[in-house]
């Protein structure tokens, strides 16, 4: 008789090895290997009765999405929920995953859908307690505190829900697998079984996922491949607002951002986030400038702040918050070489205010303007919004959606906008907004300072 040899798999990325490894050769995580019992079955069983279909004869999807009646959540989903889709919602402990999805359950139930909320973490009483605080009536809402996948699937067969939430995917286990709950093998099995259910019945399924300290879901990479949509809570718990970003979306634009505000009644959608992000702006202070940024398909105004101070030591430190630190180093080197600002012996701190992560190239101009403003101790015009990508020669390069950014600036009362000259003229005139087209940092940058 042959005894099955156990394998070791990385809990961060799913990489498998025949022996224990201290560090994963694939994702470079330390101490991430756990011994698991190997399975012969394929990871994803989509439809065992599927057959070859002739393309023209496949029924057209009429594109009907289910609205969650929550504009910000609809936005991150790409315009509503697609029937049969599997959506993974990840986030740090206590950030509001259960709260948000319980609220979505209620709005779906109010539209006449039967919703099943499966919790492997909290008792039905605990969820009811949260629901009472959120003033959820839950006429068509069913709670099931269970972690065994087979029992959950049996109840799903019985209740025939129109939408299912599983809180969290890491607590659910399949009794057909010997590994313990939360391991890569289990998480993948649970997700693919639920995917099979979702696709077969055209029922949307939400999976809540925990994020480890390092910012990744346990068993994340494998799960991201299986599901249709991946949403992450961004930012910190210390702020009253919460950001949800689409990291992957098979039915819409990714990098779409939803903004919510945490209140006693749960997470409220924020309809005008630019206004929210600028409420505590340090206008008129050196080192502060407003960036016209794009988050997915939406323009968003964000304050970028820099602080430049003489370093205690020979070489300066560079610290960023919500911005790419490599990008900052590169921009500082460029400012030094092309514009002659002495920065190598300075400590430079740059923040995107509000806990946002800004990754698009259009932040370059805002970063340099903020740094030079702080270095020279000269404030920028409080009525100014900037955006633009910078090249290594100090040239200002055009960016996407310049018109949208400019219009957002005007609608929030700004009267001047510095932007790449290459973006001019804008496709549509923005009344009341003075446009400052920039070719290169030198000599144009100083014109933006008071
Ligand atoms: N009475 C209250 N009033 C206002 N906000 C509250 C109240 N009780 C809890 N909260 C907020 O709800 C958050 C917890 O939300 P929730 O339980 O949905 O988080 P979670 O992401 O599901 O956490 P976990 O990972 O532990 O499951 C708290 O961090 C707090 O900000
Ligand atoms: Mg929770
Ligand atoms: Zn790994």
Could you tell me the maximum CA-CA distance found in the chain, to the nearest angstrom? Answer: 83
% of the chain exceeding 90 in pLDDT? 54
For ion ligand 3, residues whose CB falls within 5 Å = 10, 12-13, 15, 24, 26-27, 29
358 CA distance to ligand 3 middle (Å): 27
Determine whether domain 67-271 maps to CATH 3.40.50.300.
Answer: yes
Check residue 316 and give its pLDDT.
Answer: 85
Q: Among 189-198, 204-213, 261-270, 385-394, which is the least confidently predicted range?
A: 204-213
Q: What is the pTM of this model?
A: 0.83
Q: Say which residue, 254 or 167, is predicted with more confidence.
A: 167
CATH no., domain 276-448: 3.30.230.10
> How many Cβ atoms sit within 10 Å of the Cβ of residue 54?
6
What average pLDDT score do residues 25-49 get? 70
pLDDT in tens, 380-410: 999 999 999 999 999 999 999 999 999 999 9
pLDDT surpassing 50 at residue 318: yes
pLDDT in tens, 133-190: 999 999 999 999 999 999 999 999 999 999 999 998 999 999 988 878 888 888 888 9
Q: What is the mean pLDDT of the chain?
A: 88
Element spanning 10, H or E:
strand 7-10
- pLDDT-derived band at 212, boundaries 50, 70, 90: low
Ligand nearest to the CA of 14: 3
98 lines ligand 1 (CB under 6 A): yes
DSSP tag of 3: P
Q: How many whole angstroms separate alpha carbon 344 and alpha carbon 341? A: 9
Ligand 1 pocket test: pick from 91, 96, 129 the residue with the most ligand atoms within 8 Å of its Cβ. Answer: 96
Length of the chain as a residue count? 450
Ligand nearest to the CA of 101: 1
Check residue 166 and give its pLDDT.
Answer: 96
């Amino acid at each position: 008789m042959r005894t099955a040899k156990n394998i070791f798999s990385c809990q961060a990325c799913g990489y498998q090895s025949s022996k224990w490894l201290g560090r994963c050769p694939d994702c470079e995580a330390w101490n991430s290997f756990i011994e698991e019992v190997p399975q012969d079955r394929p990871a994803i069983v989509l439809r065992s009765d599927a057959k070859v279909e002739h393309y023209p004869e496949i029924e057209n999807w009429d594109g009907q999405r289910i609205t969650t009646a929550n504009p910000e959540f609809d936005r991150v989903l790409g315009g509503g929920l697609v029937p049969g889709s599997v959506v993974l919602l990840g986030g740090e402990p206590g950030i509001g995953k259960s709260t948000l999805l319980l609220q979505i359950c209620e709005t779906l139930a109010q539209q006449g859908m039967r919703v099943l909320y499966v919790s492997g973490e909290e008792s039905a009483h605990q969820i009811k307690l949260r629901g009472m605080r959120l003033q959820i009536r839950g006429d068509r809402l069913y709670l099931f505190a269970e972690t065994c996948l087979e029992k959950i699937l049996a109840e799903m067969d019985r209740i025939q829900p129109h939408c299912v939430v599983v809180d969290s995917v890491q607590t659910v286990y399949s009794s057909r697998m010997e590994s313990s709950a939360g391991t890569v093998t289990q998480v993948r099995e649970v997700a693919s079984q639920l995917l099979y259910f979702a696709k077969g019945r055209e029922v949307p399924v939400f999976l809540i996922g925990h994020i480890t300290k390092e910012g990744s879901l346990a068993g994340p990479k494998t799960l991201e491949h299986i599901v249709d949509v991946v949403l992450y809570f961004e930012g910190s718990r210390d702020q009253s607002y919460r950001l949800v970003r689409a990291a992957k979306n098979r039915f819409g634009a990714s990098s779409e951002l939803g903004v919510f505000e945490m209140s006693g009644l749960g997470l409220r959608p924020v309809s005008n986030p630019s206004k929210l992000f600028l409420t505590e702006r340090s206008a008129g202070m050196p080192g502060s400038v407003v960036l016209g940024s794009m988050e997915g398909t939406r323009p968003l105004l964000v304050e970028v702040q820099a602080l430049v101070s003489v370093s205690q030591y020979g070489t300066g430190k560079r610290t960023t918050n919500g911005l790419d630190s490599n990008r900052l180093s590169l921009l500082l080197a460029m400012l030094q070489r092309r514009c002659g600002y002495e920065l190598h012996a300075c400590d430079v701190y740059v923040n995107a205010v509000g806990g946002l992560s800004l990754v698009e190239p259009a932040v370059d101009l805002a970063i340099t303007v903020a740094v030079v403003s702080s270095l020279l101790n000269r404030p920028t015009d409080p009525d100014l919004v900037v955006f633009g990508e910078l090249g290594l020669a100090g040239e200002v390069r055009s960016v996407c959606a310049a018109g949208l950014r400019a219009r957002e600036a005007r609608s929030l009362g700004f009267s001047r906008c510095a932007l790449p000259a290459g973006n001019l003229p804008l496709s549509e005139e923005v009344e009341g907004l003075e446009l400052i087209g920039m070719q290169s940092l030198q000599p144009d940058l100083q014109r933006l300072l008071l």
